[in-house]
Chain A
Protein backbone atom coordinates (compact mmCIF):
# COMPACT_ATOMS: atom_id res chain seq x y z
CA UNK A 1 0.00 0.00 0.00
CA UNK A 2 1.19 3.51 -0.79
CA UNK A 3 0.63 6.13 1.89
CA UNK A 4 -0.24 9.40 0.22
CA UNK A 5 1.15 12.58 1.76
CA UNK A 6 -1.58 14.74 3.32
CA UNK A 7 -2.37 17.21 0.58
CA UNK A 8 -3.88 20.61 1.34
CA UNK A 9 -6.94 19.90 -0.80
CA UNK A 10 -7.91 16.97 1.40
CA UNK A 11 -11.47 17.33 2.65
CA UNK A 12 -11.08 14.21 4.78
CA UNK A 13 -8.16 12.22 6.01
CA UNK A 14 -7.92 9.33 8.42
CA UNK A 15 -4.46 8.86 9.78
CA UNK A 16 -3.49 5.47 11.25
CA UNK A 17 -6.88 4.94 12.86
CA UNK A 18 -7.51 1.98 15.16
CA UNK A 19 -11.08 1.27 16.24
CA UNK A 20 -12.53 -1.38 18.54
CA UNK A 21 -15.84 -2.90 19.53
CA UNK A 22 -15.11 -3.94 23.10
CA UNK A 23 -12.04 -6.10 22.73
CA UNK A 24 -12.55 -6.80 19.04
CA UNK A 25 -10.34 -4.67 16.84
CA UNK A 26 -12.27 -3.64 13.72
CA UNK A 27 -9.84 -1.15 12.16
CA UNK A 28 -6.08 -1.53 12.11
CA UNK A 29 -4.10 1.58 11.31
CA UNK A 30 -6.48 2.69 8.56
CA UNK A 31 -5.19 5.62 6.54
CA UNK A 32 -7.30 7.11 3.76
CA UNK A 33 -7.86 10.53 2.29
CA UNK A 34 -10.58 12.10 0.16
CA UNK A 35 -9.91 15.28 -1.81
CA UNK A 36 -12.48 17.95 -2.50
CA UNK A 37 -14.67 17.06 -5.44
CA UNK A 38 -13.69 13.41 -5.60
CA UNK A 39 -15.67 10.21 -5.53
CA UNK A 40 -13.62 7.69 -3.58
CA UNK A 41 -14.78 4.13 -3.02
CA UNK A 42 -14.04 1.70 -0.26
CA UNK A 43 -14.46 -1.94 -1.19
CA UNK A 44 -13.95 -5.15 0.72
CA UNK A 45 -15.75 -8.32 1.69
CA UNK A 46 -18.24 -8.77 4.50
CA UNK A 47 -16.89 -7.84 7.88
CA UNK A 48 -13.82 -6.09 6.43
CA UNK A 49 -14.56 -2.90 8.37
CA UNK A 50 -16.13 -0.65 5.72
CA UNK A 51 -19.12 0.38 7.84
CA UNK A 52 -16.86 0.84 10.85
CA UNK A 53 -14.66 3.18 8.82
CA UNK A 54 -17.64 5.38 7.94
CA UNK A 55 -18.93 5.32 11.52
CA UNK A 56 -15.53 6.35 12.80
CA UNK A 57 -15.58 9.32 10.45
CA UNK A 58 -19.07 10.44 11.44
CA UNK A 59 -18.41 10.02 15.15
CA UNK A 60 -20.63 7.03 15.92
CA UNK A 61 -17.51 4.98 16.71
CA UNK A 62 -14.50 6.55 18.42
CA UNK A 63 -10.98 6.07 17.06
CA UNK A 64 -8.87 4.60 19.85
CA UNK A 65 -5.69 5.89 18.24
CA UNK A 66 -4.83 7.88 15.14
CA UNK A 67 -6.92 10.83 14.07
CA UNK A 68 -9.65 11.92 11.69
CA UNK A 69 -9.26 15.30 9.98
CA UNK A 70 -12.23 16.93 8.27
CA UNK A 71 -12.15 20.24 6.45
CA UNK A 72 -8.96 21.28 8.21
CA UNK A 73 -9.81 20.30 11.80
CA UNK A 74 -9.38 17.25 13.97
CA UNK A 75 -12.82 15.71 14.49
CA UNK A 76 -11.70 12.52 16.25
CA UNK A 77 -13.33 13.59 19.53
CA UNK A 78 -16.30 15.55 18.19
CA UNK A 79 -19.85 14.29 18.89
CA UNK A 80 -21.62 12.88 15.85
CA UNK A 81 -24.45 15.42 15.95
CA UNK A 82 -22.05 18.35 15.86
CA UNK A 83 -20.48 17.15 12.62
CA UNK A 84 -23.68 17.51 10.61
CA UNK A 85 -23.76 21.32 10.58
CA UNK A 86 -20.06 21.27 9.73
CA UNK A 87 -20.83 19.53 6.46
CA UNK A 88 -20.65 15.80 7.07
CA UNK A 89 -23.54 13.75 5.74
CA UNK A 90 -23.89 10.01 6.35
CA UNK A 91 -26.47 7.75 4.71
CA UNK A 92 -25.94 4.71 6.95
CA UNK A 93 -25.98 1.01 6.13
CA UNK A 94 -29.49 -0.41 6.01
CA UNK A 95 -31.11 2.97 5.15
CA UNK A 96 -32.29 3.61 8.68
CA UNK A 97 -35.10 5.91 7.60
CA UNK A 98 -37.67 6.87 10.26
CA UNK A 99 -40.39 4.44 9.33
CA UNK A 100 -43.17 6.07 11.37
CA UNK A 101 -42.42 9.55 10.04
CA UNK A 102 -43.74 10.62 6.68
CA UNK A 103 -41.41 10.96 3.69
CA UNK A 104 -41.67 14.72 4.07
CA UNK A 105 -40.84 14.58 7.78
CA UNK A 106 -37.86 12.33 7.06
CA UNK A 107 -36.54 14.98 4.71
CA UNK A 108 -37.25 17.68 7.27
CA UNK A 109 -35.17 15.67 9.73
CA UNK A 110 -32.39 15.60 7.15
CA UNK A 111 -32.49 19.40 7.19
CA UNK A 112 -32.65 19.51 10.99
CA UNK A 113 -29.56 21.69 11.33
CA UNK A 114 -30.50 24.05 8.48
CA UNK A 115 -32.45 27.27 8.64
CA UNK A 116 -36.11 27.03 7.76
CA UNK A 117 -35.66 29.28 4.72
CA UNK A 118 -32.90 27.08 3.32
CA UNK A 119 -34.85 23.88 3.81
CA UNK A 120 -37.35 24.65 1.06
CA UNK A 121 -34.60 25.20 -1.46
CA UNK A 122 -32.93 21.93 -0.50
CA UNK A 123 -36.27 20.10 -0.67
CA UNK A 124 -36.72 21.31 -4.22
CA UNK A 125 -33.31 19.97 -5.12
CA UNK A 126 -34.00 16.56 -3.55
CA UNK A 127 -37.39 16.32 -5.24
CA UNK A 128 -35.72 17.14 -8.54
CA UNK A 129 -33.20 14.33 -8.05
CA UNK A 130 -35.89 11.92 -6.82
CA UNK A 131 -39.28 12.85 -8.32
CA UNK A 132 -40.69 9.66 -6.79
CA UNK A 133 -40.22 11.11 -3.30
CA UNK A 134 -42.28 14.17 -4.21
CA UNK A 135 -45.17 11.91 -5.22
CA UNK A 136 -44.98 10.02 -1.93
CA UNK A 137 -44.26 12.88 0.42
CA UNK A 138 -47.26 12.25 2.69
CA UNK A 139 -46.68 8.50 2.92
CA UNK A 140 -45.10 6.84 5.97
CA UNK A 141 -41.41 6.13 5.42
CA UNK A 142 -41.90 2.50 6.39
CA UNK A 143 -44.45 1.96 3.62
CA UNK A 144 -41.99 2.76 0.82
CA UNK A 145 -40.44 0.08 -1.36
CA UNK A 146 -36.79 -0.80 -0.80
CA UNK A 147 -35.62 1.32 -3.70
CA UNK A 148 -37.73 4.28 -2.62
CA UNK A 149 -36.38 3.95 0.91
CA UNK A 150 -32.86 4.08 -0.47
CA UNK A 151 -33.72 7.23 -2.40
CA UNK A 152 -35.16 8.70 0.77
CA UNK A 153 -32.03 7.80 2.74
CA UNK A 154 -29.80 9.54 0.19
CA UNK A 155 -32.16 12.49 -0.19
CA UNK A 156 -32.37 12.85 3.58
CA UNK A 157 -28.58 12.95 3.88
CA UNK A 158 -28.43 15.60 1.13
CA UNK A 159 -30.84 17.84 3.04
CA UNK A 160 -28.02 18.94 5.36
CA UNK A 161 -26.13 20.14 2.27
CA UNK A 162 -23.03 18.13 3.13
CA UNK A 163 -19.57 18.90 1.81
CA UNK A 164 -18.76 15.22 2.22
CA UNK A 165 -21.38 12.52 1.79
CA UNK A 166 -20.71 9.06 3.22
CA UNK A 167 -22.76 6.41 1.43
CA UNK A 168 -22.87 2.90 2.90
CA UNK A 169 -24.00 0.34 0.31
CA UNK A 170 -26.61 2.47 -1.42
CA UNK A 171 -27.30 -0.20 -4.04
CA UNK A 172 -27.91 -3.09 -1.63
CA UNK A 173 -30.99 -5.11 -2.47
CA UNK A 174 -32.00 -3.08 -5.52
CA UNK A 175 -32.93 -4.38 -8.94
CA UNK A 176 -30.29 -3.92 -11.70
CA UNK A 177 -32.18 -0.99 -13.23
CA UNK A 178 -32.43 0.79 -9.91
CA UNK A 179 -28.75 0.12 -9.22
CA UNK A 180 -27.93 1.91 -12.47
CA UNK A 181 -30.18 4.76 -11.50
CA UNK A 182 -28.65 5.13 -8.03
CA UNK A 183 -25.14 5.19 -9.46
CA UNK A 184 -26.00 7.85 -12.00
CA UNK A 185 -27.61 9.91 -9.24
CA UNK A 186 -24.45 9.55 -7.17
CA UNK A 187 -22.50 10.98 -10.11
CA UNK A 188 -25.03 13.77 -10.47
CA UNK A 189 -24.74 14.68 -6.78
CA UNK A 190 -20.97 14.76 -7.18
CA UNK A 191 -21.24 17.00 -10.26
CA UNK A 192 -23.33 19.40 -8.21
CA UNK A 193 -20.36 19.79 -5.88
CA UNK A 194 -20.58 17.15 -3.14
CA UNK A 195 -17.53 15.04 -2.37
CA UNK A 196 -18.41 11.38 -1.90
CA UNK A 197 -16.96 8.44 0.00
CA UNK A 198 -18.78 5.39 -1.27
CA UNK A 199 -18.83 1.95 0.36
CA UNK A 200 -20.00 -0.77 -2.00
CA UNK A 201 -20.26 -4.52 -2.39
CA UNK A 202 -20.97 -3.78 -6.01
CA UNK A 203 -17.27 -3.16 -6.65
CA UNK A 204 -17.39 -3.01 -10.45
CA UNK A 205 -20.02 -0.26 -10.50
CA UNK A 206 -18.32 1.62 -7.70
CA UNK A 207 -14.96 1.59 -9.47
CA UNK A 208 -16.74 2.83 -12.58
CA UNK A 209 -17.94 6.03 -10.96
CA UNK A 210 -15.03 6.64 -8.57
CA UNK A 211 -11.69 8.29 -9.27
CA UNK A 212 -9.84 6.35 -6.60
CA UNK A 213 -10.45 3.36 -4.42
CA UNK A 214 -9.27 1.54 -1.32
CA UNK A 215 -9.52 -2.15 -0.62
CA UNK A 216 -10.11 -3.09 2.98
CA UNK A 217 -9.44 -6.57 4.31
CA UNK A 218 -10.00 -7.60 7.95
CA UNK A 219 -9.61 -4.05 9.15
CA UNK A 220 -6.55 -3.14 7.07
CA UNK A 221 -6.16 -1.15 3.87
CA UNK A 222 -4.44 -3.56 1.51
CA UNK A 223 -4.66 -1.53 -1.72
CA UNK A 224 -4.94 2.18 -2.48
CA UNK A 225 -4.95 3.01 -6.18
CA UNK A 226 -6.81 4.80 -8.92
CA UNK A 227 -10.15 3.26 -9.70
CA UNK A 228 -8.94 2.19 -13.15
CA UNK A 229 -5.89 0.44 -11.73
CA UNK A 230 -7.97 -1.33 -9.12
CA UNK A 231 -10.46 -2.48 -11.73
CA UNK A 232 -7.57 -3.91 -13.76
CA UNK A 233 -5.82 -5.51 -10.79
CA UNK A 234 -6.09 -9.32 -11.11
CA UNK A 235 -6.21 -9.77 -7.34
CA UNK A 236 -9.16 -7.37 -7.11
CA UNK A 237 -10.89 -8.91 -10.11
CA UNK A 238 -10.67 -12.31 -8.55
CA UNK A 239 -11.68 -11.38 -5.02
CA UNK A 240 -14.24 -8.61 -5.53
CA UNK A 241 -15.39 -8.60 -9.11
CA UNK A 242 -16.39 -12.23 -9.09
CA UNK A 243 -13.87 -13.49 -11.64
CA UNK A 244 -12.13 -16.80 -11.28
Chain B
Protein backbone atom coordinates (compact mmCIF):
# COMPACT_ATOMS: atom_id res chain seq x y z
CA UNK B 1 0.00 0.00 0.00
CA UNK B 2 2.59 2.57 1.08
CA UNK B 3 4.85 1.34 -1.67
CA UNK B 4 2.10 1.78 -4.23
CA UNK B 5 1.42 5.34 -3.08
CA UNK B 6 5.11 6.20 -3.13
CA UNK B 7 5.42 4.91 -6.66
CA UNK B 8 2.33 6.83 -7.73
CA UNK B 9 3.76 10.00 -6.18
CA UNK B 10 6.99 9.57 -8.12
CA UNK B 11 5.16 8.99 -11.39
CA UNK B 12 2.93 12.01 -10.72
CA UNK B 13 5.91 14.23 -9.96
CA UNK B 14 7.58 13.11 -13.18
CA UNK B 15 4.43 13.78 -15.17
CA UNK B 16 4.14 17.26 -13.65
CA UNK B 17 7.67 18.20 -14.66
CA UNK B 18 7.40 16.75 -18.14
CA UNK B 19 4.05 18.41 -18.84
CA UNK B 20 5.47 21.73 -17.66
CA UNK B 21 8.36 21.50 -20.11
CA UNK B 22 5.96 20.35 -22.80
CA UNK B 23 3.69 23.34 -22.20
CA UNK B 24 6.64 25.71 -22.49
CA UNK B 25 7.66 23.97 -25.70
CA UNK B 26 4.18 24.26 -27.15
CA UNK B 27 4.01 27.91 -26.15
CA UNK B 28 7.22 28.49 -28.04
CA UNK B 29 5.66 26.88 -31.13
CA UNK B 30 2.68 29.22 -30.82
CA UNK B 31 4.64 32.44 -30.24
CA UNK B 32 7.99 32.01 -31.90
CA UNK B 33 8.74 35.71 -32.21
CA UNK B 34 8.69 36.23 -28.42
CA UNK B 35 11.81 36.32 -26.27
CA UNK B 36 12.80 33.18 -24.42
CA UNK B 37 11.90 34.56 -20.99
CA UNK B 38 8.47 35.63 -22.24
CA UNK B 39 7.84 32.16 -23.64
CA UNK B 40 8.80 30.58 -20.31
CA UNK B 41 6.56 32.98 -18.40
CA UNK B 42 3.54 32.47 -20.68
CA UNK B 43 4.08 28.70 -20.75
CA UNK B 44 4.25 28.57 -16.96
CA UNK B 45 1.07 30.63 -16.56
CA UNK B 46 -0.73 28.37 -19.04
CA UNK B 47 0.58 25.31 -17.27
CA UNK B 48 -1.12 26.41 -14.04
CA UNK B 49 -4.40 27.02 -15.88
CA UNK B 50 -4.12 23.52 -17.29
CA UNK B 51 -3.62 22.09 -13.80
CA UNK B 52 -6.70 23.93 -12.55
CA UNK B 53 -9.00 22.93 -15.37
CA UNK B 54 -7.54 19.43 -15.29
CA UNK B 55 -8.23 19.17 -11.56
CA UNK B 56 -11.91 19.96 -12.15
CA UNK B 57 -12.21 17.37 -14.94
CA UNK B 58 -10.31 14.84 -12.85
CA UNK B 59 -12.60 15.21 -9.84
CA UNK B 60 -15.67 14.72 -12.04
CA UNK B 61 -14.09 11.83 -13.93
CA UNK B 62 -13.58 9.92 -10.67
CA UNK B 63 -17.33 9.67 -10.18
CA UNK B 64 -17.88 8.34 -13.70
CA UNK B 65 -15.19 5.75 -13.30
CA UNK B 66 -16.23 4.59 -9.82
CA UNK B 67 -19.86 4.12 -10.81
CA UNK B 68 -18.92 2.36 -14.02
CA UNK B 69 -16.49 0.17 -12.10
CA UNK B 70 -19.11 -1.03 -9.69
CA UNK B 71 -22.31 -1.34 -11.74
CA UNK B 72 -21.14 -0.84 -15.34
CA UNK B 73 -23.44 2.14 -15.77
CA UNK B 74 -22.43 5.25 -17.65
CA UNK B 75 -24.05 7.73 -15.34
CA UNK B 76 -24.90 10.48 -17.79
CA UNK B 77 -26.42 12.54 -15.00
CA UNK B 78 -23.04 12.88 -13.33
CA UNK B 79 -22.11 16.09 -15.17
CA UNK B 80 -25.31 17.63 -13.86
CA UNK B 81 -24.54 16.45 -10.36
CA UNK B 82 -21.38 18.53 -10.73
CA UNK B 83 -23.50 21.48 -11.89
CA UNK B 84 -25.78 21.11 -8.85
CA UNK B 85 -22.62 21.16 -6.72
CA UNK B 86 -21.71 24.56 -8.16
CA UNK B 87 -25.19 25.86 -7.34
CA UNK B 88 -25.28 24.38 -3.83
CA UNK B 89 -21.95 26.07 -3.06
CA UNK B 90 -23.34 29.29 -4.55
CA UNK B 91 -26.40 29.08 -2.28
CA UNK B 92 -24.29 28.36 0.80
CA UNK B 93 -21.92 31.27 0.21
CA UNK B 94 -24.55 33.82 -0.75
CA UNK B 95 -26.93 32.83 2.06
CA UNK B 96 -24.08 33.36 4.52
CA UNK B 97 -23.69 36.81 3.03
CA UNK B 98 -20.46 36.29 1.13
CA UNK B 99 -20.71 37.68 -2.35
CA UNK B 100 -17.07 38.34 -3.13
CA UNK B 101 -13.51 38.09 -1.93
CA UNK B 102 -13.03 37.51 1.81
CA UNK B 103 -10.22 39.63 3.21
CA UNK B 104 -9.57 37.84 6.50
CA UNK B 105 -7.52 34.71 5.83
CA UNK B 106 -8.80 32.67 8.82
CA UNK B 107 -12.39 33.51 7.87
CA UNK B 108 -11.71 32.60 4.26
CA UNK B 109 -10.29 29.22 5.26
CA UNK B 110 -13.18 28.59 7.63
CA UNK B 111 -15.84 29.45 5.05
CA UNK B 112 -14.12 27.38 2.37
CA UNK B 113 -13.88 24.35 4.65
CA UNK B 114 -17.52 24.74 5.63
CA UNK B 115 -18.47 25.16 1.98
CA UNK B 116 -16.64 22.01 0.92
CA UNK B 117 -18.05 20.01 3.81
CA UNK B 118 -21.68 20.98 3.28
CA UNK B 119 -21.55 20.84 -0.52
CA UNK B 120 -19.92 17.42 -0.50
CA UNK B 121 -22.38 15.96 2.01
CA UNK B 122 -25.42 17.40 0.22
CA UNK B 123 -24.18 16.15 -3.15
CA UNK B 124 -23.26 12.77 -1.69
CA UNK B 125 -26.80 12.36 -0.42
CA UNK B 126 -28.18 13.52 -3.78
CA UNK B 127 -26.03 10.96 -5.60
CA UNK B 128 -27.06 8.12 -3.28
CA UNK B 129 -30.72 9.15 -3.67
CA UNK B 130 -30.43 9.13 -7.47
CA UNK B 131 -29.01 5.63 -7.28
CA UNK B 132 -31.71 4.47 -4.89
CA UNK B 133 -34.69 5.76 -6.84
CA UNK B 134 -33.55 5.92 -10.47
CA UNK B 135 -31.00 3.12 -10.93
CA UNK B 136 -31.49 0.45 -8.28
CA UNK B 137 -34.97 -0.54 -9.47
CA UNK B 138 -33.41 -1.14 -12.91
CA UNK B 139 -30.34 -3.02 -11.79
CA UNK B 140 -31.39 -6.24 -13.48
CA UNK B 141 -33.06 -4.59 -16.45
CA UNK B 142 -31.48 -4.55 -19.93
CA UNK B 143 -28.52 -2.15 -20.18
CA UNK B 144 -30.38 0.50 -22.18
CA UNK B 145 -33.00 1.16 -19.51
CA UNK B 146 -30.72 2.65 -16.82
CA UNK B 147 -28.81 4.54 -19.54
CA UNK B 148 -32.00 6.28 -20.67
CA UNK B 149 -32.94 6.86 -17.03
CA UNK B 150 -29.58 8.55 -16.50
CA UNK B 151 -30.25 10.91 -19.39
CA UNK B 152 -33.66 11.58 -17.84
CA UNK B 153 -32.12 12.39 -14.46
CA UNK B 154 -29.72 14.73 -16.24
CA UNK B 155 -32.58 16.74 -17.72
CA UNK B 156 -34.51 16.72 -14.45
CA UNK B 157 -31.56 18.16 -12.52
CA UNK B 158 -31.07 20.90 -15.13
CA UNK B 159 -34.74 21.71 -15.14
CA UNK B 160 -34.95 21.93 -11.36
CA UNK B 161 -32.00 24.32 -11.15
CA UNK B 162 -33.37 26.34 -14.05
CA UNK B 163 -36.75 26.82 -12.36
CA UNK B 164 -35.68 27.14 -8.73
CA UNK B 165 -32.58 29.29 -9.21
CA UNK B 166 -32.06 30.81 -12.58
CA UNK B 167 -32.52 30.38 -16.24
CA UNK B 168 -29.49 32.51 -17.07
CA UNK B 169 -25.91 32.65 -15.76
CA UNK B 170 -25.54 33.86 -12.17
CA UNK B 171 -22.36 35.37 -10.71
CA UNK B 172 -20.76 32.93 -8.25
CA UNK B 173 -18.85 34.43 -5.32
CA UNK B 174 -15.10 34.47 -5.93
CA UNK B 175 -14.18 34.16 -2.28
CA UNK B 176 -10.46 33.85 -2.99
CA UNK B 177 -9.30 37.17 -4.37
CA UNK B 178 -7.44 36.98 -7.67
CA UNK B 179 -5.09 39.61 -6.24
CA UNK B 180 -3.35 36.91 -4.23
CA UNK B 181 -0.68 35.82 -6.67
CA UNK B 182 2.77 34.36 -6.73
CA UNK B 183 5.45 34.87 -9.31
CA UNK B 184 7.30 31.94 -10.81
CA UNK B 185 9.74 32.14 -13.74
CA UNK B 186 8.31 35.49 -14.67
CA UNK B 187 4.71 34.32 -14.62
CA UNK B 188 2.23 35.85 -12.21
CA UNK B 189 -0.11 33.04 -11.16
CA UNK B 190 -3.24 33.41 -9.00
CA UNK B 191 -2.84 31.56 -5.74
CA UNK B 192 -6.35 30.20 -6.37
CA UNK B 193 -5.01 28.00 -9.19
CA UNK B 194 -2.50 26.38 -6.88
CA UNK B 195 -5.10 26.04 -4.15
CA UNK B 196 -7.54 24.27 -6.49
CA UNK B 197 -4.84 21.89 -7.64
CA UNK B 198 -3.83 21.09 -4.07
CA UNK B 199 -7.42 20.53 -2.91
CA UNK B 200 -7.98 18.15 -5.82
CA UNK B 201 -4.77 16.27 -5.05
CA UNK B 202 -5.69 15.92 -1.37
CA UNK B 203 -9.14 14.57 -2.30
CA UNK B 204 -7.62 12.11 -4.75
CA UNK B 205 -5.10 10.84 -2.25
CA UNK B 206 -7.86 10.45 0.34
CA UNK B 207 -9.85 8.45 -2.22
CA UNK B 208 -6.90 6.20 -3.01
CA UNK B 209 -6.28 5.53 0.66
CA UNK B 210 -9.95 4.83 1.26
CA UNK B 211 -10.44 2.50 -1.71
CA UNK B 212 -7.05 0.83 -1.38
CA UNK B 213 -6.68 0.44 2.34
CA UNK B 214 -9.95 0.33 4.23
CA UNK B 215 -12.48 -2.38 4.90
CA UNK B 216 -15.20 -0.49 3.02
CA UNK B 217 -12.84 0.19 0.13
CA UNK B 218 -12.13 -3.51 -0.15
CA UNK B 219 -15.87 -4.19 -0.10
CA UNK B 220 -16.24 -1.75 -3.00
CA UNK B 221 -13.51 -3.39 -5.03
CA UNK B 222 -14.91 -6.86 -4.30
CA UNK B 223 -18.42 -5.82 -5.27
CA UNK B 224 -17.05 -4.36 -8.50
CA UNK B 225 -15.34 -7.64 -9.35
CA UNK B 226 -17.94 -10.20 -8.34
CA UNK B 227 -21.18 -9.09 -6.76
CA UNK B 228 -22.36 -12.57 -5.85
CA UNK B 229 -19.07 -13.57 -4.26
CA UNK B 230 -19.03 -10.30 -2.32
CA UNK B 231 -22.43 -11.16 -0.86
CA UNK B 232 -21.05 -14.51 0.24
CA UNK B 233 -18.42 -12.59 2.22
CA UNK B 234 -21.20 -10.76 4.06
CA UNK B 235 -21.06 -7.55 2.02
CA UNK B 236 -24.32 -5.63 1.73
CA UNK B 237 -23.99 -4.77 -1.92
CA UNK B 238 -26.85 -2.27 -1.97
CA UNK B 239 -25.17 -0.26 0.76
CA UNK B 240 -21.80 -0.58 -0.97
CA UNK B 241 -23.17 0.69 -4.28
CA UNK B 242 -24.91 3.56 -2.48
CA UNK B 243 -21.62 4.52 -0.80
CA UNK B 244 -19.91 4.49 -4.19
CA UNK B 245 -22.47 6.94 -5.54
CA UNK B 246 -22.13 9.04 -2.39
CA UNK B 247 -18.37 9.38 -2.78
CA UNK B 248 -18.42 9.97 -6.53
CA UNK B 249 -21.10 12.64 -6.20
CA UNK B 250 -19.38 14.30 -3.24
CA UNK B 251 -16.24 14.64 -5.37
CA UNK B 252 -18.31 16.13 -8.20
CA UNK B 253 -19.76 18.54 -5.63
CA UNK B 254 -16.28 19.63 -4.63
CA UNK B 255 -15.50 20.15 -8.31
CA UNK B 256 -18.63 22.27 -8.66
CA UNK B 257 -17.61 24.49 -5.77
CA UNK B 258 -14.15 24.90 -7.27
CA UNK B 259 -15.63 25.71 -10.67
CA UNK B 260 -17.69 28.55 -9.18
CA UNK B 261 -14.68 30.02 -7.38
CA UNK B 262 -12.59 29.83 -10.52
CA UNK B 263 -15.00 30.94 -13.23
CA UNK B 264 -17.03 33.50 -11.32
CA UNK B 265 -20.28 32.57 -12.99
CA UNK B 266 -22.39 29.47 -13.32
CA UNK B 267 -25.35 28.39 -15.42
CA UNK B 268 -27.79 25.49 -15.23
CA UNK B 269 -26.44 23.66 -18.28
CA UNK B 270 -22.73 23.88 -17.52
CA UNK B 271 -22.69 20.18 -16.58
CA UNK B 272 -23.20 19.01 -20.13
CA UNK B 273 -19.89 20.11 -21.60
CA UNK B 274 -17.83 19.48 -18.47
CA UNK B 275 -19.52 16.13 -17.93
CA UNK B 276 -18.79 14.99 -21.45
CA UNK B 277 -15.13 16.02 -21.17
CA UNK B 278 -14.81 14.32 -17.79
CA UNK B 279 -16.41 11.19 -19.18
CA UNK B 280 -13.88 11.33 -22.00
CA UNK B 281 -11.18 11.67 -19.34
CA UNK B 282 -12.43 8.55 -17.58
CA UNK B 283 -12.39 6.56 -20.82
CA UNK B 284 -8.99 7.96 -21.77
CA UNK B 285 -7.51 6.89 -18.44
CA UNK B 286 -9.21 3.50 -18.51
CA UNK B 287 -12.76 3.40 -17.23
CA UNK B 288 -13.06 1.74 -13.84
CA UNK B 289 -9.57 2.87 -12.84
CA UNK B 290 -9.45 5.80 -10.39
CA UNK B 291 -5.82 6.70 -11.05
CA UNK B 292 -6.58 6.59 -14.76
CA UNK B 293 -9.51 8.99 -14.34
CA UNK B 294 -7.32 11.52 -12.55
CA UNK B 295 -4.65 11.17 -15.21
CA UNK B 296 -7.23 11.50 -17.99
CA UNK B 297 -8.71 14.62 -16.38
CA UNK B 298 -5.36 16.37 -16.23
CA UNK B 299 -4.54 15.24 -19.76
CA UNK B 300 -7.70 16.81 -21.13
CA UNK B 301 -7.15 20.03 -19.18
CA UNK B 302 -3.65 20.13 -20.65
CA UNK B 303 -4.78 19.57 -24.22
CA UNK B 304 -7.46 22.25 -23.96
CA UNK B 305 -5.03 24.84 -22.69
CA UNK B 306 -2.28 23.75 -25.07
CA UNK B 307 -4.70 24.29 -27.94
CA UNK B 308 -5.01 27.91 -26.85
CA UNK B 309 -1.28 28.53 -26.43
CA UNK B 310 -0.44 27.08 -29.81
CA UNK B 311 -3.02 29.35 -31.44
CA UNK B 312 -5.39 26.48 -32.20
CA UNK B 313 -8.08 27.51 -29.74
CA UNK B 314 -10.80 27.15 -32.35
CA UNK B 315 -9.74 23.52 -32.72
CA UNK B 316 -9.92 22.78 -28.98
CA UNK B 317 -12.73 20.23 -29.08
CA UNK B 318 -11.44 18.52 -32.20
CA UNK B 319 -8.02 18.18 -30.59
CA UNK B 320 -9.37 16.72 -27.36
CA UNK B 321 -11.38 14.10 -29.17
CA UNK B 322 -8.65 13.32 -31.71
CA UNK B 323 -6.39 12.45 -28.82
CA UNK B 324 -9.14 10.28 -27.36
CA UNK B 325 -9.52 8.41 -30.65
CA UNK B 326 -5.77 8.00 -31.07
CA UNK B 327 -5.33 6.61 -27.57
CA UNK B 328 -8.24 4.22 -27.96
CA UNK B 329 -6.95 2.93 -31.30
CA UNK B 330 -3.70 1.86 -29.64
CA UNK B 331 -5.04 1.08 -26.17
CA UNK B 332 -8.74 0.26 -26.48
CA UNK B 333 -9.18 -0.03 -22.71
CA UNK B 334 -7.58 3.36 -22.05
CA UNK B 335 -4.16 4.34 -20.76
CA UNK B 336 -4.34 2.47 -17.46
CA UNK B 337 -7.32 0.25 -18.28
CA UNK B 338 -7.09 -3.47 -18.06
CA UNK B 339 -6.46 -4.61 -21.58
CA UNK B 340 -8.30 -7.74 -22.65
CA UNK B 341 -6.14 -10.67 -21.66
CA UNK B 342 -4.89 -8.87 -18.57
CA UNK B 343 -8.17 -9.44 -16.80
CA UNK B 344 -7.86 -13.04 -15.59
- What does the 1/0 interface line of B196-224 toward A look like (CB < 8 Å)? 00000000000000000001001101100
Closest to B230 in A: A109
B225 engages A112 (CB within 8 Å): no
Which residues of the partner chain B approach A100 to less than 8 Å between Cβ atoms? 221, 225
Tell me what chain B mostly uses at the interface: helix, strand, loop, or mixed: helix
The reply on B183 being an interface residue by CB < 8 A is no
B225 engages A98 (CB within 8 Å): yes
Which residues of the partner chain B approach A59 to less than 8 Å between Cβ atoms? 231
A112 engages B228 (CB within 8 Å): no
A58, B215: Cα distance in complex, Å: 23
Binds A, one of B147-155, B234-242, B269-277: B234-242
A211, B222: Cα distance in complex, Å: 35
A98 engages B226 (CB within 8 Å): yes
Number of A-B contacts (CB under 8 A): 68
Which residues of the partner chain B approach A108 to less than 8 Å between Cβ atoms? 215, 218
Chain A interfacial residues counted at CB < 8 A: 28
Which residues of the partner chain A approach B235 to less than 8 Å between Cβ atoms? 81, 109, 112
Known: A80-B231, A81-B235, A143-B344. A112 touches B221 (CB 8 A): no
How many interface residues does chain B have, given as a range? 10 to 19
Known: A101-B221, A108-B218, A143-B344. A96 touches B234 (CB 8 A): no
A98 engages B344 (CB within 8 Å): no
| Interface residue ranges of A59-90 to B (CB < 8 Å) | 59-60, 79-82, 84-85, 90
The reply on A160 being an interface residue by CB < 8 A is yes
A137, B221: Cα distance in complex, Å: 18
Q: Which residues of B contact A (CB under 8 A)?
A: 215, 218-219, 221-222, 225-226, 228-237, 343-344
Q: Which residues of A contact B (CB under 8 A)?
A: 58-60, 79-82, 84-85, 90, 92, 96-101, 105, 108-110, 112-113, 142-143, 156-157, 160
Q: List 26 A-B contacts (CB under 8 A).
A: A59-B231, A60-B232, A79-B231, A79-B236, A81-B231, A84-B234, A90-B232, A92-B228, A92-B229, A92-B232, A96-B232, A98-B226, A99-B225, A100-B225, A101-B221, A109-B218, A109-B222, A109-B233, A109-B235, A112-B218, A113-B234, A142-B343, A143-B344, A156-B233, A157-B232, A160-B233
